[in-house]
């Protein structure tokens, strides 16, 4: 079993939360727009010479950083009241500022647009959760590889950044299975990013591009919708093939207004919270919720198998608290299945099931950073490589623990787990939450949770190693 070792001194910690669990939740919450779609729609806007208005835009770090990047590069960005308006027609810059690009992973999706505009682009290491096995965290080589197929010349820099040049991008044929770790299951950590990069490049390239076996969840389908409305010629010619007739940069000129689907990971977060922590039905609202339910088909199938009860409507969900033990499940998170981002919430649900739940992650390595924290709170969890086992029923129950979030979803699931523990838990490194939730702690407080922000220096007060 892997352990969790806090940093050597508290001054290295991010922000923290003090959680006094045991309160039952009640009321209603509203979801924000899907973060993953936001960054790809913004990338489409960067390739266009027309404004793109994004409604149901989440108020998260990605939104503010993307806005700053547009302005720093010469474009414009206006953000307020759930709306973001981006206009890249004035962009002249080609080097992504390090002080901004490293804060979010979504900065990498600007590469095709900037390369087509300026014929060169340089990007420092992008940010986001430090997932994967690479020396610099998130993989980036696939961005170079895809763009080289369109005629670019690229290289990885020693610090993990990259540099690309291209006199022009030229249409080509790309089989996206080349960017999967498992061609039979069609999954892998670079599959989604390679698809988005290829689709963006094809829309500003000269000539015909054929994409086989693209990633096809809503962040890609939203990207296709926006690119088409901007003026791109994208045709679905078969169940696994897209053909894009590129006419070069400067051809995406039609203003677009697009409403983001509710955030698919936030929806599952609230289903988990309502099932385990509420004392009555919890209502989860959001425009286009029926779209979210459709995309979350694999998740809803699992929830039904576990015995979780959720009533759906066009505008929202009603989550009913569990009335008894749940049922265990075995499943694999994959690019064409359950989101890797969602598997931590099923791990917490598994603690309330009678029997063993086993989760395999076929997208990311090192995606069980939350497991030692759940073990510290009293759950029975073990993991080996890409699989995690939860033996239940054994909910979180051990008070007085200091746990640390290793990434965004770890922070969210540990926060929910702490709310189930009668007594006080401190959670460090909760700054991760700002990259995926408007204000998860405040929304939970609005439902009755007892959560207090604490100084970083207080988040972990002693040196310790938590072994599960």
**377-425: pLDDT as tens digits:** 999 999 987 899 999 999 999 999 999 999 999 999 999 999 999 999 9
Determine the pLDDT at residue 11.
28
**pTM of this prediction?**
0.92
* CA-based radius of gyration for the chain: 22
Task: State the residue for tokens 């809803």.
Answer: 300
CATH homologous superfamily of 10-32+262-459: Enolpyruvate transferase domain (3.65.10.10)
- For residues 231 and 44, the answer to whether their CB atoms sit within 8 Å is no
Instruction: Identify the burial level of 223 via C-beta atoms within 10 angstroms of its C-beta, where 0-12 means exposed, 13-18 middle and 19 or more buried.
Output: buried
User: Are domains 10-32+262-459 and 35-259 of this chain identical in fold?
Assistant: yes
The number of C-alpha atoms within 13 Å of 116 and in the hemisphere containing its C-beta is: 33
Pairwise CA distance, residues 303 & 61, whole Å: 30
Strand-pairing partners, residue 380, are 391
What are the CA-CA distances from residue 439 to residues 58, 383, 444 (Å)? 10, 30, 9
Determine the pLDDT at residue 129.
52
More confident residue, 162 or 443: 443
What are the CA-CA distances from residue 199 to residues 38, 92, 195, 423 (Å)? 16, 22, 6, 50
* pLDDT average, residue stretch 48-72: 96
At residue 459, does pLDDT exceed 60?
no
CA 180 to chain centre: 18
User: 35-259, what's its fold?
Assistant: UDP-n-acetylglucosamine1-carboxyvinyl-transferase; Chain (3.65.10)
Portion of the chain with pLDDT greater than 70, in percent = 92
3-state secondary structure of 23: coil
Residues 90-122 pLDDT 10s = 998 888 898 888 888 889 999 999 999 999 999
Please state at what angle helix 191-204 crosses helix 141-149, rounded to 10 degrees. 40
Instruction: Single out the residue of 36, 35, 98, 100 nearest to residue 67, CA to CA.
Output: 100
Determine the pLDDT at residue 118.
93
Portion of the chain with pLDDT greater than 90, in percent = 82
Average pLDDT, the chain: 91
* pLDDT average, residue stretch 65-93: 95
Pairwise CA distance, residues 262 & 257, whole Å: 16
Domain ranges of the chain: 10-32+262-459, 35-259
Pairwise CA distance, residues 164 & 461, whole Å: 45
């Amino acid at each position: 079993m892997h352990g969790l070792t806090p940093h050597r001194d508290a001054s290295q910690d991010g922000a923290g939360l003090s959680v006094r669990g045991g309160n039952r939740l009640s009321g209603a919450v509203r979801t924000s727009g899907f973060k993953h779609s936001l960054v790809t729609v913004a990338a489409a806007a960067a390739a266009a010479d027309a404004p793109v208005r994004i409604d149901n835009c989440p108020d998260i770090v990605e939104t503010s950083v993307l806005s700053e990047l547009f302005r720093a590069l010469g474009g414009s960005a206006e953000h307020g009241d759930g709306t973001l308006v981006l206009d890249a027609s004035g962009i002249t810059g080609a080097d992504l500022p390090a002080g901004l690009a490293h804060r979010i992973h979504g900065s990498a999706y600007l590469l095709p647009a900037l390369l087509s505009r300026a014929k060169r682009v340089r990007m420092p290491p992008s940010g986001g959760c430090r997932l994967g096995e690479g020396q610099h965290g998130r993989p980036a080589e696939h961005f170079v590889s895809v763009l080289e197929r369109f005629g670019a010349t690229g290289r990885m820099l020693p610090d993990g950044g990259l540099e690309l040049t291209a006199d022009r991008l030229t249409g080509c044929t790309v089989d996206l299975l080349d960017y999967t770790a498992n061609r039979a299951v069609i999954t892998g950590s670079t599959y989604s990013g390679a698809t988005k990069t290829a689709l963006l490049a094809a829309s500003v390239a000269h000539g015909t591009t054929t994409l086989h076996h693209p990633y096809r969840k809503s962040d890609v389908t939203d990207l296709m919708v926006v690119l088409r409305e901007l003026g791109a010629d994208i045709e679905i010619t078969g169940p696994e093939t897209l053909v894009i007739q590129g006419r070069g940069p400067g051809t995406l000129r039609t203003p677009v207004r697009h409403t983001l689907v509710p955030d698919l990971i936030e929806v599952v977060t609230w289903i988990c919270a309502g099932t385990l922590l509420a004392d009555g039905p919890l209502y989860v609202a959001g425009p286009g919720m029926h779209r979210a339910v459709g995309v979350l088909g694999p998740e809803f199938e699992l929830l039904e198998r576990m015995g979780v009860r959720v009533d759906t409507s066009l505008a929202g969900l009603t989550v009913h608290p569990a009335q008894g033990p749940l049922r265990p499940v075995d499943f694999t998170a994959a690019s064409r299945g359950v989101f890797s981002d969602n598997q931590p919430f099923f791990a917490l649900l598994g603690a309330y099931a009678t029997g063993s739940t086993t989760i395999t992650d076929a997208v990311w390595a090192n995606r069980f950073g939350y497991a030692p924290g759940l073990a510290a709170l009293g759950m029975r969890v073990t993991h080996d490589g890409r699989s995690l086992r939860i033996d239940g029923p054994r909910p979180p129950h051990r008070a007085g623990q200091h746990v640390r979030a290793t990434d965004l979803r770890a922070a969210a699931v540990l926060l929910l787990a702490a709310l189930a523990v009668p007594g006080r838990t401190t959670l460090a490194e909760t700054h991760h939450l700002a990259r995926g939730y408007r204000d998860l702690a405040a929304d939970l407080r609005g439902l009755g949770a007892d959560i207090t922000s604490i100084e970083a220096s207080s988040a972990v007060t002693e040196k310790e190693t938590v072994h599960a």
